[in-house]
């Protein structure tokens, strides 16, 4: 296969695919080559299918749908609704489409000034952050980072070790 058919992928795209566990198959590289060749292109599934086929690569319809979905999920492509044709259109994701950074929640002690991560709070934080980012987006704002810090007195400074507290 020549480099024009399946070009080398830019590092940031490879990084996103690797993080998502997406293999760089020939079909994947050919599909991405279509978008990288014309960075402003927005293509429907049908257009992608016929362009891939025109390059002599056979990918069945379901596999191609799945591939496009996975490329959207890992932030390489973005998907928009074409209201006229009532279909999805796919395009290369722009950097501003990247998901907001959601930091794990921290606890900052007012006495010892340590900053502690709250264990296992990541999934709750993502749920809250998603809701808040959605609220911001509804008002036209584009969130890029979400942080939550709780301030107070840590367990060590409070003199109550883990597992302590009031007992009956
Ligand atoms: Zn403390």
Residue 22's domain is classified under what CATH number? 1.10.10.10
- pLDDT tens for the 168 residues of the chain, in order: 444 566 678 777 887 788 778 888 889 999 999 998 887 888 999 999 999 999 999 889 899 999 998 888 877 888 888 777 778 889 888 765 566 777 778 889 999 999 888 876 667 777 788 788 778 777 877 777 788 889 999 999 998 655 444 443
Phi and psi at residue 97, to the nearest 5° = -85, -10
Q: Is 31 found in the same domain as 79?
A: yes
What is the pLDDT, as a whole number, of residue 1? 45
Q: Is 91 found in the same domain as 105?
A: no
- Centre of ligand 1 from the C-alpha of residue 145, in Å: 27
Q: Is 142 found in the same domain as 92?
A: no
- Centre of ligand 1 from the C-alpha of residue 108, in Å: 8
- Centre of ligand 1 from the C-alpha of residue 107, in Å: 10
Q: Is 138 found in the same domain as 90?
A: no
What is the pLDDT, as a whole number, of residue 136? 78
Boundary of a domain, candidates 77, 96, 115: 96
- Centre of ligand 1 from the C-alpha of residue 158, in Å: 7
What is the pLDDT, as a whole number, of residue 80? 82
What is the pLDDT, as a whole number, of residue 120? 63
Residue 32's Cβ-count burial label (10 Å; 0-12, 13-18, 19+) is buried
Q: Is 55 found in the same domain as 23?
A: yes
- Centre of ligand 1 from the C-alpha of residue 161, in Å: 12
Q: Is 91 found in the same domain as 117?
A: no
Q: Does residue 1 lie in a domain region?
A: no
Phi and psi at residue 59, to the nearest 5° = -130, 125
Q: Does residue 165 lie in a domain region?
A: no
Q: Print the domain residue range for 35.
A: 11-96
Domain count for the chain, please give it.
Answer: 2
- Centre of ligand 1 from the C-alpha of residue 115, in Å: 9
Q: Does residue 25 lie in a domain region?
A: yes
> Are 21 and 50 within 8 A, CB to CB?
no
- Centre of ligand 1 from the C-alpha of residue 111, in Å: 5
- Centre of ligand 1 from the C-alpha of residue 101, in Å: 27
What is the pLDDT, as a whole number, of residue 95? 64
What is the pLDDT, as a whole number, of residue 151? 93
What is the pLDDT, as a whole number, of residue 68? 92
Q: Is 120 found in the same domain as 84?
A: no
């Amino acid at each position: 296969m020549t480099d024009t058919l399946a070009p080398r992928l830019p590092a940031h795209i490879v990084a996103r695919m690797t993080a998502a566990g997406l293999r760089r198959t020939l079909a994947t590289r050919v599909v991405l080559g279509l978008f990288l060749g014309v960075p402003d292109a927005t293509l429907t599934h049908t257009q992608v299918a016929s362009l891939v086929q025109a390059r002599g690569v056979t990918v069945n319809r379901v596999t191609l749908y799945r591939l496009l979905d996975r490329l959207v999920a890992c932030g390489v492509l973005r998907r928009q609704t074409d209201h006229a044709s009532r279909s999805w259109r796919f395009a290369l994701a722009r950097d501003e489409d990247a998901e907001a950074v959601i930091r794990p929640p921290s606890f900052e002690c007012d006495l010892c000034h340590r900053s502690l991560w709250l264990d296992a709070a990541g999934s709750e934080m993502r749920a809250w952050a998603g809701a808040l980012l959605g609220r911001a987006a509804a008002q036209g704002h584009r969130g890029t980072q979400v942080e939550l810090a709780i301030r107070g007195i840590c367990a060590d400074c409070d003199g109550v070790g883990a597992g302590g507290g009031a007992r009956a």
